Amino acid sequence: MTDTPRRILVVGGVAGGMSFAARARRLDENAEIIVFERGEHPSFANCGLPYFVSGEIVQERSLLVQTPASLKAALNLDVRVHHLVQGIDPERQVIHVWVDPDDTEPTEFAYDELVLAPGTITGIEEPAGAVAGDDKGTRALMDAHRVTTLRTVGDAARLAAAVPNGKTAVVVGGGYIGVEAAEALRMRGLDVHIVQRGAHVLSRLDPEHAALVAAELTGHGVRIHAGATVSEYRVDDDGVDVLLSTGENVRAELVVSAVGGRPATLLMSLPGLEVEADGRIVVDDHGRTNLPHVWAVGDAVTHVDPITGANRAVELAGPANRDGRLLADAMLGTNPRPRPTALGSSVIRVFDLTVAAVGANEAELVAAGIPFETVNLHANSHAGYFPGAQPIHLVLHFSPGDGRIYGAQAVGRAGVDKRIDVIATAIRGGLRADDLIDLDLAYAPPYGSAKDPVNMAGMVADNVLTGVTKHWYARDLADVQENALILDVRRRDEWDAGHLPGALHVPHTELRERIDEVIAAADGRPVRAHCAAGLRSYLAHRILTAAGLDSATLSGGMQTLLATHGKDILTHEEH
């Protein structure tokens, strides 16, 4: 037995690496713990960077959670910034580190245990064309402060400083960072364009919710170029022309590249380490890699989706911090818990909207071949009779067999985050969709309703699971128009404002007296009812079912239908 303290090396700080290091120190006072961070700051609030650019966070130092000095003083951690780890030699148990940019060879550091938390790197997406007049390519654009990422405190500081000299900004990428950057720059008064490769921004949102986000962005003056990529950058002394694959040319002074991160493992030599095709490290339930004494945590680690079973990235601060702690427990503790599968709970502010999600979305369930039912609700954030109530557009996906909750999304101006947090807790606890009825949630008129939106989602799900309710969905519109009678049960003024072509209009309050008219119009076809939000068509659905008709109610009503397909599907023809 030796008295030599074990040496633990940590590659990368911020969430996963620093969470591990801090917990490891609390569990082993004698270990030598060295953290190598390639950047300037080992522990900073990367989620706060857009809000520094917007001016809401005033002081740059507010973004710094810890410094090497404070970590040394509080936890006796040896944190070395501007140290780039080139790779590892697992047989000799050493890592290769560039300590000084002028070094001709890396320095070796031996380890007893090694934790890889390198995170991801975000670069400038190389356009299809060359950068006119400059053989250094996109690097020259970055050096000229025309194109930047938003990944570090330095990025945020440079971008914030450049804003007063610009009028127009282009954000390449419509994910979370891209949308937050666009919001920040628009709040600073710039004209902002988002270039989005996919069909809509925030690609993990279901289409009806993505449409609400797009409307909020455009309503605040942000222009979205969906289905587009950058073909070429042309830089000059005054700005940069951003040429798009759609043929458009956007003239800007600033470009923010937010096209998504790649694991930093792609820049390292990691012989023998098991990684996915995208470079993410494969680990077990405790963070162990396939190499002895080598562990991994954070954004560069692969996660198994608990709903679909797919391997995916989870680039979120919460799971990274939690997993760092659990990894330390597995390495140094006496009763380690396995790393839970990440549900991907997320929330983002988009001007006056809050957008939150957890679990699988519609596209992921379809891709995985998982049957599912959906509840679309448009419930108030608190009691409707109390001033200030705002609609929450809530979607819940669940199994039609056992009611297992697969995922949820919500968009609104108040009360969104807490509803998704409740559902995230329900998923983690193994509750069924219909169990949401039974949750005792805090209620007072300024905060909620006696039937909270989460309870209401459970009630509708229970109706589906028990066969009381049969839904049809916005995604089924073309099939329904071809094969069924669409019954519009809204008021006459709502009908006159726009309706689906070929639909039969019978207000739900007249349906019992006019049921023979509906039977004749259906002529043996199924009847698919809808109203504005879903309640009246549910009542009509029960009447139609009692009359012996094959009926269903549109989940979410016309609000969901229009968010999915747009207003062009409506007509204003008379009866």
pLDDT at 142: 53
Name the amino acid, one letter, at 200: H
Alpha-carbon distance of 512 to 490, in angstroms, equals 14
196 pairs with which residues across the strands? 226
| Spatial CA neighbour of 190 closest among 222, 226, 214, 161 | 222
Per residue, the 3-state secondary structure of 451-499, as one string, reads: CCHHHHHHHHHHHHHHCCCCEECHHHHHHHHHHCEEEECCCHHHHHCCE
Half-sphere exposure of 355 (CA within 13 A, CB side): 26
Residue 523 Cα to chain centre, angstroms: 46
The alpha helices in 14-117, defined as continuous H runs, are 14-27, 49-53, 68-75
254 pairs with which residues across the strands? 169
pLDDT at 532: 96
Alpha-carbon distance of 555 to 560, in angstroms, equals 8
pLDDT at 8: 98
Alpha-carbon distance of 555 to 208, in angstroms, equals 12
pLDDT at 132: 38
Rg over alpha carbons for the chain, rounded to the nearest Å, is 27
pLDDT, tens digit only, all 575 positions of the chain: 457 899 999 999 888 999 999 999 999 999 999 999 998 999 999 899 999 999 999 999 999 999 999 999 999 999 999 999 999 999 999 999 998 877 788 999 999 999 999 998 876 655 543 343 343 444 555 555 578 899 899 999 999 999 998 999 999 999 999 999 999 999 999 999 999 999 999 999 999 999 999 999 999 999 999 999 999 998 888 899 999 999 999 999 999 999 877 888 888 899 999 999 889 999 999 999 999 999 999 999 999 999 999 888 888 889 999 999 999 999 998 789 999 989 999 999 999 999 999 999 999 999 999 999 999 999 999 999 999 999 999 999 999 999 999 999 999 999 999 999 999 999 999 999 999 999 999 999 999 999 999 999 999 999 999 999 999 999 999 999 999 999 999 999 999 999 999 999 999 999 999 999 999 999 999 999 999 999 999 999 999 999 999 999 999 999 999 999 999 999 987 65
Alpha-carbon distance of 296 to 302, in angstroms, equals 10
| Spatial CA neighbour of 260 closest among 159, 177, 157 | 177
* All structural domains of the chain: 7-119+263-332 (3.50.50.60), 138-260 (3.50.50.60), 352-466 (3.50.50.60), 471-569 (3.40.250.10)
| Separation in Å, CA 144 to CA 67, 167, 235, 237 | 29, 16, 9, 9
